[in-house]
Amino acid sequence: MFVKILMLAAAALVTWSIAARPSGAHGHKVVYRVQPYDTVWTIASSHYAGDPRSAAWQIEQANHLHGAQLVPGQRLVLP
């Protein structure tokens, strides 16, 4: 009896894991095209409320930026 319950639970878990889909809880990410004279700081200030330091760090992390150098036309993901 215990083995049947265990097998049924395993089958339910496998079925659930196959049918699981992303919930979209993180929302849509915005792609921003860098304009001349843009900096990470100015982008963070204009697109996020509050302290731009946190937003600037998030932008740098999301885009794997290793410095402040941005190129006009470059695309950045704004988390």
* Dihedral of alpha carbons 57, 58, 59, 61, sign: positive
CB of 31 within 8 A of CB of 68?
A: no
Tell me how far apart the alpha carbons of residues 77 and 68 are, in angstroms, rounded to a whole number: 15
Mean pLDDT of 50-57: 93
Q: If DSSP codes are grouped into helix, strand and coil, which group holds residue 30?
A: strand
List, in order of start, the domains of the chain with CATH numbers: 25-79 (3.10.350)
Task: List, for residues 1-46, the tens digit of each pLDDT value.
Answer: 878 787 777 777 666 667 656 555 566 779 999 999 999 999 999 9
CB of 78 within 8 A of CB of 30?
A: yes
